Amino acid sequence: MRLAAETLLPVDASLAVALVVLLLVAAAVATVFRLGPDGSAGRAREILTAGLRATVQLAAVSVVIGWAVHHTAALVGFLLLMLAVAARTAGRRITKNRTWWWAALPLAVPVVPTVAGLVGAGLLAVPGIAIVPVSGILIGGALTATVLAGRRALDELAQRNGEVEAGLALGLTERDARLEVARAATSDALLPALDQTRTVGLVTLPGAFVGMLLGGASPLMAGAVQLFVLVALLAVEALAIALTLELAARGRLHRREDHTRQGVT
């Protein structure tokens, strides 16, 4: 099976050239079509930086994981680092002020109990290699959902502030008025996970499925594991979105410059 994997994607000079070309194409498209939020080439620089960071990080992580999976304390520390980096990334994508750290809540609350439950049920072993990709998939899904939900919620609240004021005038609490305005837009953050689940096997063959096939698992076993991953992602992302919406409605996550106000309860 190792030979099959190497045949599918050989790690050699051709792969390096392909990666460089694809990264330059992505940056060039962002530049030509001015895909940055302000119409500048800033997004192209972000693409190049992201590609370089991914190269360095994956090289380092490959070494660290090979050691950490045999040591429980190191493995737990690595998983917490993944969660912390995800929280920082999500929070800073949503807002630039100090409230960004609230993004840790919709990441940790769904992911930590899910992973702990899988370990407790004996489906994941600690120490062990399987917990790293499973946790990474769940954290990554929660990260995407939190960013999309947070940005949509705060954008909607900023653009439709008059409707929030109207709700307050009708007697709604500030939380309820914000929920009425932001809920519909925020719910769209679940669409990527829904579309991925609906089209699995018809449009795409996800990484977990392909990886297990290359590792020697039967198609039935690979399908069962992939189904579990997709359903777990739906649960994790739904809860992440709900918590992000609640944080925005309560004013915990916001884009105001005034940090003295702690939000409504």
pLDDT over 80 at 211, yes or no:
no
pLDDT over 90 at 121, yes or no:
no
pLDDT over 50 at 4, yes or no:
no
What is the domain extent for residue 168?
A: 72-265
pLDDT over 50 at 7, yes or no:
no
**Of 85-89, 94-98, 175-179, 202-206, which gets the smallest average pLDDT?**
202-206
Q: What is the mean pLDDT of residues 72-99?
A: 93
Neighbours of 212 (CB within 10 A): 18
pLDDT over 50 at 246, yes or no:
yes
Query: Model's pTM, two decimal places?
Result: 0.80
How many Å apart are CA 72 and CA 76, to the nearest integer?
A: 6
Residues 60 and 92 reside in one and the same domain: no
How many Å apart are CA 82 and CA 86, to the nearest integer?
A: 6
Residues 35 and 140 reside in one and the same domain: no
Bridge partners of residue 22, in order along the sequence: none
Report the C-alpha dihedral over residues 90, 93, 96, 102, rounded to 10 degrees.
Answer: -20
Residues 83 and 199 reside in one and the same domain: yes
Residues 103 and 130 reside in one and the same domain: yes
Residues 174 and 105 reside in one and the same domain: yes
Domain count along the chain? 2
Residues 35 and 153 reside in one and the same domain: no
Identify the pLDDT of residue 95: 95
- What is the residue-averaged pLDDT of the chain? 87
